[in-house]
Amino acid sequence: MKKKILVLVVLAVVLALGGFYLLKNKGNGVQFKTARVSRGDLRATVTATGTVSAVTTVLVGTQVSGTVKQIFVDYNSPVKKGQLLAQIDPALSDAKVSQARANLNAAAANVEKAEAALQDADRTLERNRTLFAKNFIARSDLDTADTNRLSALALLKVAKAQVEQQKAALNEEETTLNYTRILSPVDGTVISRNVDIGQTVAASFQTPTLFSIAQDLTRMQIDTNVDEADIGKIRVGQSVQFTVDAYPDSTFPGGVAEIRNAPTTIQNVVTYDVVVKVANPELKLKPGMTANVSIITALEKGVLKVPNAALRFKWPPAGAVPDQESARATGAGRPQAVRATNGAKTQGVWVLDGQKPRRAPLTLGISDGNETAVLSEELKEGDAVILEATGQAKTSASPPAGGPGIFR
């Protein structure tokens, strides 16, 4: 009986110790959060913001000062080239034209007067020549008649020159009068009107803008600011996708049309203007809208992809020291990223092989910020890559630097 009791006690102690060690090992176990390696399309993009505008916007101003008498168009009015947009009060210009025309008539009358004087001088000269040939007058009288003819001829030339001068003055005043009629220089749509009837415009120092006309709203462009770190990836002809706040559920296509070399510094950041051409057949896009642009710099189809979180995972975690067998099995302590012999960037991920993590070195391709393409064949579709570890790994038994734990 005593032997049976002793055996039962020994069994109970063994079971208790076994349970204790099992619980201890379970508490020191590590759980992993994983994701599957998938295959699909991947694209690399450069994001930027810009402003939608018409390809050609013409600012219509005035070269004359005066009061706006009439306005014939308003916002969103379609206009044709040469169409009358507004009229500046022409009263003052009309008066100047009338004065210039009167001056021209006076100059023309002076020409007629000079021509009559020349004819009289010609007749006097001929008469004196006849009289001189018969010795009826002195030589001085003939010379005087010849001088008077030359003087009359000069006065005629002066009168004709004054006529040309007055014609030019009349043409200038008539041109100024025409400038009081504000005409559309292009076919398009009025997107801005900056004057009202009765308003006085002054063109003395600078040309005031009366109207803004977008030549063709079915073709738009986006002026984007691309950071200098990304400008090297941009090429003319690359595809573009963008959204605007007015249509958050719609994505619009476009293409890179121009990369301007003039730098712009915004808050100590150097940017370059990348012009994106956009078709706008439904006239949804309006000038001034803010566009969130994604320029597609690379596109790969049917490639293996791993989450970027897997590339950031490190094993063992900081402060954990695996046993030697686990270190040999998992490759702990190897560098996470190395440089391949061909210059391509290589990096490792940790694959959950059974219940143990295994490091797989990779050659990486393009990335969209969430996933990265895998160019090497170390992984296959469906492999479980580790994203993070939960629980606690086995830690070193030596106390940390700084003294005994009682002072921690």
Q: SS3 for 107?
A: helix
The pTM for the full model equals 0.64
Q: What is the CA radius of gyration of the chain?
A: 47
Pairing state between β 247-266 and 269-279: antiparallel
Burial class (CB in 10 A: 0-12, 13-18, 19+), 350: buried
DSSP-derived pairing of the beta strands 66-71 and 181-183: unpaired
Which of 29-33, 158-162, 292-296 is the least confident region?
29-33
pLDDT reported for residue 300:
87
In whole angstroms, give the CA distance from residue 127 to residue 290: 90
pLDDT > 50? residue 95: yes
Q: Which tens digit of pLDDT belongs to each residue from 301-327?
A: 888 888 988 888 887 765 454 544 444
pLDDT tens digits along 252-265? 999 999 999 999 99
The tally of CA atoms less than 13 A away on the side-chain side of residue 62 is: 28
Q: How confident is the model at residue 6 (pLDDT cuts 50, 70, 90)?
A: low
Q: Which residues pair with 256 in a beta bridge?
A: 276
pLDDT (0 to 100) of residue 245: 94
- pLDDT band of 338, cuts 50, 70, 90: very low
Tokens 């012009």 correspond to 275
- In which residue are the tokens 């706008």 written? 280
121 vs 115: CA distance, rounded Å: 10
- How does residue 16 score in pLDDT terms, banded at 50, 70 and 90? low
pLDDT band for 347, please (50, 70, 90 cuts). Answer: confident
CA dist 231 to 48, 101, 254, 262, 293, Å? 11, 62, 18, 12, 14
Q: φ and ψ at 304, to 5 degrees?
A: -70, 140
Burial call 83-116: b when 16+ CB within 10 Å, e when fewer: eebbbbbbebbeebbeebbebbeebbebbeebbe
Query: At CA 224, angle to CA 222 and CA 228, rounded to 5?
Result: 155
Identify residue 171 by its one-letter amino acid code: N
Residue 207, pLDDT score = 78
Rounded Cα distance between 177 and 60, Å, is 17
Mean pLDDT within 366-381: 85
Greater pLDDT, 403 or 364:
364
